[in-house]
Amino acid sequence: MNASADIPLSAWLIFGVVVVVSLAADLLGHRGGRSFSRRAAVIWSLIWISVALLFGGWVALAIGRDSAEDYLTAWLIEKSLSIDNLFVFLIIFDRLRIAPSDQHRVLFWGIIGAFLTRALFIASGSALLSAWHGAVYVLGAFLIYTGIKAARESGKEEGDGKILSFVRRRFRFTSRTDGHSFFVVEGGRRVATPLLAALVVIEITDVLFAIDSIPAVFSVTSEPFIVYSSNVFAILGMRALYLVLADLLSGLQYLRYGLAGILVLAGVKMLISGYVHVPHVVSLSAIVLVLTASIVPSVVVRRRERRRDERGGAPPPGPGERAAGSA
Protein backbone atom coordinates (compact mmCIF):
# COMPACT_ATOMS: atom_id res chain seq x y z
CA MET A 1 0.00 0.00 0.00
CA ASN A 2 1.61 3.22 -1.15
CA ALA A 3 2.12 6.23 1.08
CA SER A 4 0.06 9.35 0.64
CA ALA A 5 1.10 11.86 -1.98
CA ASP A 6 1.15 15.62 -1.50
CA ILE A 7 -2.14 16.58 -3.17
CA PRO A 8 -2.63 20.32 -3.80
CA LEU A 9 -5.99 22.00 -3.20
CA SER A 10 -6.20 22.80 -6.91
CA ALA A 11 -6.42 19.06 -7.66
CA TRP A 12 -9.52 18.77 -5.49
CA LEU A 13 -11.05 21.81 -7.18
CA ILE A 14 -10.41 20.43 -10.66
CA PHE A 15 -11.82 17.08 -9.60
CA GLY A 16 -14.96 18.81 -8.25
CA VAL A 17 -15.44 20.74 -11.49
CA VAL A 18 -15.11 17.58 -13.60
CA VAL A 19 -17.65 15.74 -11.45
CA VAL A 20 -20.17 18.61 -11.52
CA VAL A 21 -19.84 18.95 -15.29
CA SER A 22 -20.24 15.17 -15.68
CA LEU A 23 -23.39 15.11 -13.57
CA ALA A 24 -24.81 18.08 -15.50
CA ALA A 25 -24.10 16.31 -18.79
CA ASP A 26 -25.79 13.18 -17.47
CA LEU A 27 -28.89 15.13 -16.45
CA LEU A 28 -29.00 16.95 -19.77
CA GLY A 29 -28.54 13.75 -21.72
CA HIS A 30 -31.41 12.04 -19.89
CA ARG A 31 -33.79 14.97 -19.57
CA GLY A 32 -37.45 14.15 -19.95
CA GLY A 33 -37.05 10.76 -18.29
CA ARG A 34 -36.79 8.97 -21.61
CA SER A 35 -35.15 5.56 -21.65
CA PHE A 36 -32.13 4.91 -23.85
CA SER A 37 -31.49 2.18 -26.37
CA ARG A 38 -28.75 -0.39 -25.87
CA ARG A 39 -26.59 1.41 -28.46
CA ALA A 40 -26.93 4.73 -26.61
CA ALA A 41 -26.12 3.01 -23.31
CA VAL A 42 -22.94 1.55 -24.82
CA ILE A 43 -21.93 5.02 -26.04
CA TRP A 44 -22.56 6.56 -22.62
CA SER A 45 -20.65 3.76 -20.92
CA LEU A 46 -17.67 4.39 -23.23
CA ILE A 47 -17.93 8.12 -22.47
CA TRP A 48 -17.70 7.51 -18.71
CA ILE A 49 -14.77 5.14 -19.14
CA SER A 50 -13.03 7.76 -21.31
CA VAL A 51 -13.65 10.48 -18.71
CA ALA A 52 -12.17 8.26 -15.99
CA LEU A 53 -9.09 7.44 -18.08
CA LEU A 54 -8.60 11.08 -19.13
CA PHE A 55 -8.71 12.10 -15.49
CA GLY A 56 -6.08 9.46 -14.81
CA GLY A 57 -3.95 11.02 -17.54
CA TRP A 58 -4.33 14.41 -15.88
CA VAL A 59 -3.30 12.87 -12.54
CA ALA A 60 -0.14 11.55 -14.21
CA LEU A 61 0.73 15.01 -15.55
CA ALA A 62 -0.26 17.07 -12.49
CA ILE A 63 0.62 14.79 -9.57
CA GLY A 64 2.89 12.07 -10.88
CA ARG A 65 3.04 8.71 -12.61
CA ASP A 66 2.93 6.71 -9.38
CA SER A 67 -0.29 8.44 -8.30
CA ALA A 68 -1.79 7.83 -11.74
CA GLU A 69 -0.95 4.12 -11.53
CA ASP A 70 -2.54 4.01 -8.07
CA TYR A 71 -5.63 5.74 -9.44
CA LEU A 72 -5.97 3.38 -12.40
CA THR A 73 -5.55 0.26 -10.24
CA ALA A 74 -8.02 1.57 -7.64
CA TRP A 75 -10.52 2.54 -10.36
CA LEU A 76 -10.35 -0.90 -11.94
CA ILE A 77 -10.89 -2.61 -8.57
CA GLU A 78 -13.88 -0.40 -7.75
CA LYS A 79 -15.29 -0.75 -11.28
CA SER A 80 -15.04 -4.52 -11.07
CA LEU A 81 -16.58 -4.80 -7.63
CA SER A 82 -19.38 -2.37 -8.58
CA ILE A 83 -20.67 -5.02 -10.99
CA ASP A 84 -22.15 -6.66 -7.90
CA ASN A 85 -24.29 -3.55 -7.45
CA LEU A 86 -25.76 -4.07 -10.91
CA PHE A 87 -27.29 -7.35 -9.74
CA VAL A 88 -29.08 -5.36 -7.04
CA PHE A 89 -30.43 -2.86 -9.59
CA LEU A 90 -31.76 -5.69 -11.72
CA ILE A 91 -33.52 -7.45 -8.85
CA ILE A 92 -34.92 -4.36 -7.10
CA PHE A 93 -36.28 -2.76 -10.27
CA ASP A 94 -37.89 -6.05 -11.25
CA ARG A 95 -39.49 -6.62 -7.83
CA LEU A 96 -40.83 -3.09 -7.56
CA ARG A 97 -41.79 -2.95 -11.26
CA ILE A 98 -39.87 0.29 -11.85
CA ALA A 99 -40.31 1.38 -15.47
CA PRO A 100 -37.11 1.92 -17.52
CA SER A 101 -38.04 5.60 -17.91
CA ASP A 102 -37.97 6.00 -14.09
CA GLN A 103 -34.79 4.01 -13.43
CA HIS A 104 -32.42 6.83 -14.35
CA ARG A 105 -33.96 9.16 -11.74
CA VAL A 106 -33.56 6.53 -9.03
CA LEU A 107 -30.00 5.71 -10.04
CA PHE A 108 -29.01 9.39 -10.39
CA TRP A 109 -29.98 10.17 -6.79
CA GLY A 110 -28.52 6.86 -5.72
CA ILE A 111 -25.20 7.96 -7.20
CA ILE A 112 -25.37 11.29 -5.33
CA GLY A 113 -26.02 9.42 -2.09
CA ALA A 114 -23.13 7.06 -2.85
CA PHE A 115 -20.79 10.06 -3.28
CA LEU A 116 -21.66 11.24 0.23
CA THR A 117 -21.46 7.86 1.98
CA ARG A 118 -18.21 6.94 0.21
CA ALA A 119 -16.70 10.26 1.31
CA LEU A 120 -17.54 9.45 4.94
CA PHE A 121 -16.17 5.92 4.65
CA ILE A 122 -12.95 7.04 3.00
CA ALA A 123 -12.35 9.90 5.46
CA SER A 124 -12.87 7.49 8.37
CA GLY A 125 -10.66 4.84 6.80
CA SER A 126 -7.86 7.31 6.11
CA ALA A 127 -7.99 8.61 9.66
CA LEU A 128 -7.91 5.05 11.02
CA LEU A 129 -4.92 4.04 8.89
CA SER A 130 -3.06 7.22 9.84
CA ALA A 131 -3.67 6.66 13.55
CA TRP A 132 -3.08 2.90 13.61
CA HIS A 133 -0.99 1.11 10.99
CA GLY A 134 -2.14 -2.25 12.34
CA ALA A 135 -5.53 -1.55 10.77
CA VAL A 136 -3.95 -2.57 7.44
CA TYR A 137 -3.67 -6.16 8.64
CA VAL A 138 -7.15 -6.15 10.17
CA LEU A 139 -8.66 -4.91 6.90
CA GLY A 140 -6.58 -7.41 4.93
CA ALA A 141 -7.87 -10.32 7.00
CA PHE A 142 -11.42 -8.95 6.68
CA LEU A 143 -11.14 -8.82 2.88
CA ILE A 144 -9.88 -12.40 2.68
CA TYR A 145 -12.73 -13.58 4.93
CA THR A 146 -15.27 -11.60 2.88
CA GLY A 147 -13.90 -12.93 -0.41
CA ILE A 148 -14.06 -16.57 0.75
CA LYS A 149 -17.57 -16.04 2.11
CA ALA A 150 -18.72 -14.39 -1.14
CA ALA A 151 -17.37 -17.31 -3.18
CA ARG A 152 -19.33 -19.79 -1.05
CA GLU A 153 -22.63 -17.90 -1.17
CA SER A 154 -25.14 -18.57 -3.95
CA GLY A 155 -25.96 -14.87 -4.36
CA LYS A 156 -27.28 -11.72 -2.67
CA GLU A 157 -30.89 -11.93 -3.76
CA GLU A 158 -32.12 -13.21 -0.41
CA GLY A 159 -30.32 -10.46 1.48
CA ASP A 160 -31.73 -7.80 -0.85
CA GLY A 161 -35.21 -9.20 -0.24
CA LYS A 162 -34.71 -8.84 3.50
CA ILE A 163 -33.59 -5.22 3.10
CA LEU A 164 -36.64 -4.47 0.94
CA SER A 165 -38.96 -6.07 3.53
CA PHE A 166 -37.28 -4.04 6.30
CA VAL A 167 -37.76 -0.79 4.36
CA ARG A 168 -41.41 -1.57 3.66
CA ARG A 169 -42.06 -2.21 7.36
CA ARG A 170 -40.42 1.05 8.48
CA PHE A 171 -41.96 3.45 5.93
CA ARG A 172 -45.43 4.10 4.58
CA PHE A 173 -45.45 3.14 0.89
CA THR A 174 -47.99 2.94 -1.88
CA SER A 175 -47.85 0.58 -4.84
CA ARG A 176 -48.74 3.27 -7.38
CA THR A 177 -46.44 5.75 -9.07
CA ASP A 178 -47.08 9.32 -10.16
CA GLY A 179 -44.67 10.27 -12.92
CA HIS A 180 -41.14 10.51 -11.52
CA SER A 181 -42.26 11.52 -8.00
CA PHE A 182 -40.87 9.91 -4.89
CA PHE A 183 -44.00 10.89 -2.90
CA VAL A 184 -47.75 11.03 -3.59
CA VAL A 185 -50.77 12.05 -1.49
CA GLU A 186 -53.23 9.30 -0.59
CA GLY A 187 -56.14 9.83 1.80
CA GLY A 188 -54.75 13.21 2.82
CA ARG A 189 -51.39 11.67 3.74
CA ARG A 190 -48.08 11.92 2.01
CA VAL A 191 -46.77 8.45 1.22
CA ALA A 192 -43.71 7.17 -0.62
CA THR A 193 -43.84 5.62 -4.08
CA PRO A 194 -41.95 2.49 -5.24
CA LEU A 195 -39.29 4.84 -6.63
CA LEU A 196 -38.33 5.91 -3.12
CA ALA A 197 -38.39 2.31 -1.92
CA ALA A 198 -35.95 1.40 -4.70
CA LEU A 199 -33.73 4.39 -3.86
CA VAL A 200 -33.58 3.54 -0.14
CA VAL A 201 -32.77 -0.11 -0.80
CA ILE A 202 -30.07 0.82 -3.33
CA GLU A 203 -28.50 3.26 -0.85
CA ILE A 204 -28.47 0.69 1.96
CA THR A 205 -26.98 -2.02 -0.22
CA ASP A 206 -24.37 0.42 -1.56
CA VAL A 207 -23.23 1.03 2.03
CA LEU A 208 -22.92 -2.74 2.49
CA PHE A 209 -20.95 -3.08 -0.75
CA ALA A 210 -18.70 -0.16 0.25
CA ILE A 211 -17.67 -2.07 3.37
CA ASP A 212 -16.00 -4.54 0.99
CA SER A 213 -14.87 -2.34 -1.89
CA ILE A 214 -13.30 0.61 -0.04
CA PRO A 215 -10.89 -1.52 2.04
CA ALA A 216 -9.94 -3.24 -1.24
CA VAL A 217 -9.04 0.15 -2.74
CA PHE A 218 -7.05 1.01 0.41
CA SER A 219 -4.87 -1.99 -0.48
CA VAL A 220 -3.61 0.17 -3.37
CA THR A 221 -3.09 3.52 -1.64
CA SER A 222 -4.06 5.40 1.52
CA GLU A 223 -4.23 8.77 -0.26
CA PRO A 224 -7.85 10.03 0.16
CA PHE A 225 -7.79 11.94 -3.15
CA ILE A 226 -6.87 8.84 -5.17
CA VAL A 227 -9.24 6.56 -3.27
CA TYR A 228 -12.20 8.95 -3.53
CA SER A 229 -11.68 10.04 -7.14
CA SER A 230 -11.33 6.42 -8.29
CA ASN A 231 -14.56 5.56 -6.44
CA VAL A 232 -16.45 8.48 -7.93
CA PHE A 233 -15.43 7.82 -11.52
CA ALA A 234 -16.22 4.12 -11.14
CA ILE A 235 -19.69 4.94 -9.78
CA LEU A 236 -20.46 7.60 -12.40
CA GLY A 237 -20.77 5.05 -15.19
CA MET A 238 -22.82 2.50 -13.28
CA ARG A 239 -26.18 3.52 -14.75
CA ALA A 240 -25.01 3.17 -18.35
CA LEU A 241 -23.15 -0.05 -17.51
CA TYR A 242 -26.35 -1.44 -16.01
CA LEU A 243 -28.25 -0.85 -19.25
CA VAL A 244 -25.45 -2.47 -21.24
CA LEU A 245 -25.09 -5.55 -19.05
CA ALA A 246 -28.65 -6.08 -17.78
CA ASP A 247 -29.29 -8.98 -20.18
CA LEU A 248 -25.97 -10.63 -19.38
CA LEU A 249 -25.66 -10.29 -15.61
CA SER A 250 -27.90 -13.14 -14.53
CA GLY A 251 -26.09 -15.49 -16.95
CA LEU A 252 -22.57 -14.84 -15.62
CA GLN A 253 -22.72 -17.64 -13.09
CA TYR A 254 -18.97 -17.68 -12.35
CA LEU A 255 -18.55 -13.92 -12.02
CA ARG A 256 -19.01 -13.97 -8.25
CA TYR A 257 -15.89 -16.16 -7.98
CA GLY A 258 -13.93 -13.53 -9.89
CA LEU A 259 -15.17 -10.71 -7.66
CA ALA A 260 -14.43 -12.83 -4.59
CA GLY A 261 -10.94 -13.45 -5.96
CA ILE A 262 -10.31 -9.72 -6.28
CA LEU A 263 -11.23 -9.24 -2.61
CA VAL A 264 -8.90 -12.05 -1.56
CA LEU A 265 -6.03 -10.67 -3.67
CA ALA A 266 -6.53 -7.21 -2.13
CA GLY A 267 -6.54 -8.74 1.35
CA VAL A 268 -3.35 -10.69 0.71
CA LYS A 269 -1.69 -7.55 -0.65
CA MET A 270 -2.56 -5.67 2.56
CA LEU A 271 -1.27 -8.48 4.77
CA ILE A 272 2.10 -8.62 3.02
CA SER A 273 2.40 -4.85 2.46
CA GLY A 274 4.90 -4.49 5.31
CA TYR A 275 7.22 -7.10 3.82
CA VAL A 276 6.67 -7.23 0.04
CA HIS A 277 5.99 -4.43 -2.45
CA VAL A 278 3.64 -5.61 -5.20
CA PRO A 279 4.26 -3.63 -8.43
CA HIS A 280 1.33 -1.87 -10.09
CA VAL A 281 1.61 -3.93 -13.23
CA VAL A 282 1.29 -7.13 -11.18
CA SER A 283 -1.85 -5.86 -9.41
CA LEU A 284 -3.48 -4.73 -12.65
CA SER A 285 -2.59 -7.94 -14.47
CA ALA A 286 -3.94 -10.07 -11.61
CA ILE A 287 -7.27 -8.22 -11.60
CA VAL A 288 -7.68 -8.52 -15.38
CA LEU A 289 -6.71 -12.20 -15.28
CA VAL A 290 -9.17 -13.03 -12.50
CA LEU A 291 -12.03 -11.21 -14.22
CA THR A 292 -11.27 -12.87 -17.56
CA ALA A 293 -11.08 -16.30 -15.93
CA SER A 294 -14.55 -15.81 -14.43
CA ILE A 295 -16.34 -14.02 -17.29
CA VAL A 296 -15.20 -16.11 -20.28
CA PRO A 297 -16.38 -19.47 -18.89
CA SER A 298 -19.67 -17.85 -17.86
CA VAL A 299 -20.27 -16.60 -21.40
CA VAL A 300 -19.38 -19.99 -22.89
CA VAL A 301 -21.78 -21.83 -20.56
CA ARG A 302 -24.52 -19.27 -21.22
CA ARG A 303 -24.21 -19.74 -25.00
CA ARG A 304 -24.33 -23.51 -24.65
CA GLU A 305 -27.50 -23.26 -22.56
CA ARG A 306 -29.10 -20.97 -25.14
CA ARG A 307 -28.30 -23.36 -27.97
CA ARG A 308 -29.69 -26.28 -25.94
CA ASP A 309 -32.87 -24.33 -25.15
CA GLU A 310 -33.31 -23.34 -28.79
CA ARG A 311 -32.94 -26.93 -29.93
CA GLY A 312 -35.54 -27.89 -27.34
CA GLY A 313 -37.95 -25.25 -28.67
CA ALA A 314 -38.01 -23.13 -25.51
CA PRO A 315 -36.62 -19.57 -25.63
CA PRO A 316 -34.08 -18.64 -22.95
CA PRO A 317 -35.52 -16.59 -20.06
CA GLY A 318 -34.96 -12.82 -20.10
CA PRO A 319 -33.35 -10.88 -17.26
CA GLY A 320 -36.66 -9.95 -15.70
CA GLU A 321 -37.82 -13.58 -15.72
CA ARG A 322 -34.55 -14.72 -14.16
CA ALA A 323 -34.71 -12.07 -11.47
CA ALA A 324 -38.36 -12.83 -10.74
CA GLY A 325 -37.56 -16.51 -10.50
CA SER A 326 -34.83 -15.84 -7.97
CA ALA A 327 -37.02 -13.56 -5.84
List pLDDT tens digits, range 235-277.
887 877 777 766 566 567 788 888 888 889 888 988 898 788 8
What does pTM read for this prediction? 0.75
pLDDT for residue 2 is more than 60: no
CA distance 62 to 57: 9
Mean pLDDT of the chain: 80
Predicted local confidence at residue 185, as pLDDT: 80
Predicted local confidence at residue 17, as pLDDT: 96
CA distance 10 to 115: 20
Predicted local confidence at residue 12, as pLDDT: 95
Residue 125 banded pLDDT, cuts 50, 70, 90: confident
Angle (deg, nearest 10), helices 194-218 and 135-152: 130
**Per-residue CA distances from 12 to 64, 224, 246, 276 (Å):** 15, 11, 34, 31
pLDDT for residue 183 is more than 70: yes
User: By percentage, how much of the chain surpasses pLDDT 70?
Assistant: 83
List pLDDT tens digits, range 159-173.
556 667 777 677 777
CA distance 41 to 35: 10
| Of residues 50 and 172, more confidently modeled | 50
Predicted local confidence at residue 61, as pLDDT: 94
**CB neighbours of residue 127 within 10 Å:** 12
pLDDT for residue 201 is more than 60: yes
Predicted local confidence at residue 94, as pLDDT: 77
The residues near 88 (Cβ < 8 Å, ≥ 6 apart) are 156, 160, 201, 202, 205
